[in-house]
């Protein structure tokens, strides 16, 4: 049962990651539209401060999380075998 449970978890992880990738791509496209239309100075001057702070906090959290994943990937690639 343990083996089947791990397979089910791996399948769920892959599905969740695929869905998250779609959402991240959508968010990236949305921010690209904003970035191409407005300068950082305009965003700071005219956008709602709390919304900008929340967006920055979200981006920083994603950066930390994916930096951890990247470190694990590099460690695995450098490991012998």
As a three-state string, the secondary structure of the chain is CHHHHHHHHHHHHHHHHHHHHHHHHHHHHHHHHHHHHCCHHHHHHHCCHHHHHHHHHHHHHHHHHHHHHHHHHHHHHHCCC
pLDDT of residue 66: 97
pTM, entire model: 0.79
Distance from the Cα of residue 43 to its chain's centroid = 22
Residue pLDDT, tens place only, 16-30: 999 999 999 999 999
Domain ranges of the chain: 1-37, 39-81
Residue 5 pLDDT grade (very low, low, confident, very high; cuts 50, 70, 90)? low
Q: Token pair for residue 46?
A: 């005219």
How many angstroms separate the CA atoms of 33 and 23, rounded? 16
Residue pLDDT, tens place only, 45-76: 999 999 999 999 999 999 999 999 999 999 99
């Amino acid at each position: 049962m343990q083996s089947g449970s791990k397979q089910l978890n791996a399948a769920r992880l892959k599905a969740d990651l695929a869905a998250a990738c779609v959402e991240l791509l959508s968010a990236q496209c949305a921010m690209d539209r904003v970035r191409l239309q407005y300068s950082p100075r305009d965003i700071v001057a005219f956008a709602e401060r709390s919304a900008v702070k929340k967006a920055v906090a979200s981006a920083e959290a994603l950066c930390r999380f994916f930096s951890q994943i990247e470190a694990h990937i590099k460690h695995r690639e450098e490991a012998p075998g």
